Amino acid sequence: MVSSGATVSIVIPAYNEENTIRSCLLAAMLQTVPASEIVVVDNRSTDATADVVRAVQAEYPNAPIVYLQQNEEQGLVPTRNFGLDHAKGDVIGRIDADSILEPNWVEEVQKTFREPSVAASTGPVLYYDMPLRRFGLKADDALRQLVLKLSREYHFLFGSNMAIRREAWQAVRLEVCRDEDDELHEDIDLSVHLARHAFRVVYVPSMVSGMSARRLEDSPGDYAYYALRFDRTYARHGIRNPGLRAPIVVFLAIYPLIKTVWAIRQRRQAVAERE
C-alpha cells in the first residue's frame, strides 16, 4: 500500500538491548507505509546491541536504518533528545528498544498528522509477552481513555508509543527537563512543556505498539517508585491538579492483578522450557 503524507522518522533509544533490538527493527521496517528512517541511538551499551544493529543493516541493506551513538551522557533523556535532534522526518516517532510496532503504525501516524493542528500523538500498547494479548490491548486502550477523562482531557504522551511534529519538538527542546537524578517521567515532562505552548496532543486508538511487560519483574517498591514519578514530575513543574493523579491510582490499583498474571505466565514458561 502506498500513502502520501508527512515523512516519518522512528527514533529508538537503546541501552544494552541485544535481546530485543532485532525484533524492534524488523517490526519498524515491515510497515504498510515505510518510515523515512529508523534511528537507533546507542547509549554506551556494553553488550552486543551495536553488533545486532549492524547485522540487521547488512541483512537489509536497503532498509533506512541509521545507527548513532550518544556517549557524552548516560541516561534516557539525553539519548532521546539526541535522537530527536538528529531525526530528519517531518514527524518524529519515538519508541523503546523492546517495542514491536503494529504493521500499520507509520500509516496511522501519517493519517493523524494530516490534521495541521496536531502537534503530537500517542496510542495504546499491546503487551506481547502476556496472555490474552488482544484482550489486553482493549483493556489498555480503555484504561488510557479513562485516564484522559479523569484528567479532564489533559493529553499525556506515552514514551513507548508517541510521535511529535518536528516544529513542536524544536519549540520545547531547550525547555524539557534533563532529569539527571532519574526521578521523573520523561514523557510526562515533555507533555507538560507541549501543553504550556498550547500544542495539541491527541490520543489515537489505532496507533498501536507492542511492548514487553518486563517491568513487572520489578519489586513492588520499585514499581511504586515508577508510578509515583507522575507526582514528582508535576511537583517539579508546580502543578497541583488532583485530576492528573489518575494514572497513579490506575497503575497501583491494577498492579496486583497484572503481577499475578505475569507470575503465572513466567511459571508456565519455565515449565515448558524444562520439558
212 and 20 in contact (C-beta within 8 Å)?
A: yes
261 and 131 in contact (C-beta within 8 Å)?
A: yes
Which residue type occupies 263?
Answer: A
Report which of 137, 140, 187, 196 is spatially closest to residue 164, judged by C-alpha positions.
187
Q: What's residue 1's pLDDT?
A: 35
Give strand ranges (E) for the chain: 8-14, 37-42, 65-69, 91-95, 100-101, 118-122, 125-127, 161-165, 200-203, 209-211
Q: What's residue 142's pLDDT?
A: 85
CATH number at residue 209: 3.90.550.10
Question: Cell for 227?
Answer: 508510578
Query: Structural domain of residue 138, as residue ranges?
Result: 8-214
> Tens digits of per-residue pLDDT, 227-251?
899 899 989 999 887 777 777 777 7
* Cα–Cα distance measured from residue 204 to residue 112, given in angstroms and rounded to the nearest whole number: 8
Burial (CB count within 10 angstroms: exposed 0-12, middle 13-18, buried 19+), residue 102 = buried
Residue with cell 502543578: 239
Is residue 88 domain-resident? yes
Is residue 237 domain-resident? no
First vs last C-alpha separation in the chain: 43
- What's the average model confidence in pLDDT over 87-107? 98
Considering only 2-16, 23-37, 57-71, 115-129, which range has the smallest mean pLDDT? Answer: 2-16
Q: Please report which confidence band the pLDDT of residue 269 belongs to, taking 50, 70 and 90 as the band edges.
A: confident
Domain count, the chain: 1
> Tens digits of per-residue pLDDT, 14-50?
999 999 999 999 999 999 999 999 999 999 999 999 9
Is residue 183 domain-resident? yes
- Strand order across the beta sheet in which 65-69 lies: 65-69, 37-42, 8-14, 91-95, 161-165, 118-122, 200-203
Q: For residue 96, is pLDDT > 50?
A: yes
Is residue 201 domain-resident? yes
* Cα–Cα distance measured from residue 129 to residue 109, given in angstroms and rounded to the nearest whole number: 24
Is residue 239 domain-resident? no
Is residue 221 domain-resident? no
Is residue 90 domain-resident? yes
The answer to whether the Cα torsion of 40, 43, 49, 52 is positive or negative is positive
Is residue 148 domain-resident? yes
Report which of 95, 202, 204, 185 is spatially closest to residue 141, judged by C-alpha positions.
204
